[in-house]
Amino acid sequence: MVGNKVDPEIYSVYQGKRVNFCCLNCKEAFDKNPEKYLGRLPQFAPALDSEDNGHEHAGASSFPFFKLVKPMGIVTLVLITLTVGAGLLRRRKPKFLLKWHKRMGILTLIVAFIHAILVLLTH
């Protein structure tokens, strides 16, 4: 639902406001549990001059995890590149680069795992 190009033909009307979707799967997910997605939709964001703007609403996500997906993907790609580069240059300084190659490999796996979890949770 987040970050994909919307299709104007696929939409739902919720609380009198139109919500567009990229595909039927996203529409079905929204129709089953719309409160889960309201915090991400600008048409349901509280007005700045609203009296109840200072507190958390039920059903609204406290942290938008979908905003972390792209940066985590970039970090994962950079770490993969650095790990491969260290592996290719390992023969020049084997002791030094082998130690760093192992550390970067482990860190890359951890970051890639976190990225995969974020992708699965937010899509």
How high is the pLDDT of residue 37? 83
Quickly state the pLDDT bin for 109 (edges 50, 70, 90): very high
Q: CA torsion 24→42→53→122, rounded to 10°?
A: 50
Backbone angles phi, psi at 29, to 5 degrees: -65, -40
Note the residue count of the chain. Answer: 123
Answer whether 17's CB lies under 8 Å from 44's CB. Answer: yes
Q: Is 0.75 surpassed by the pTM of this model?
A: no
Average predicted confidence (pLDDT) for the chain: 80
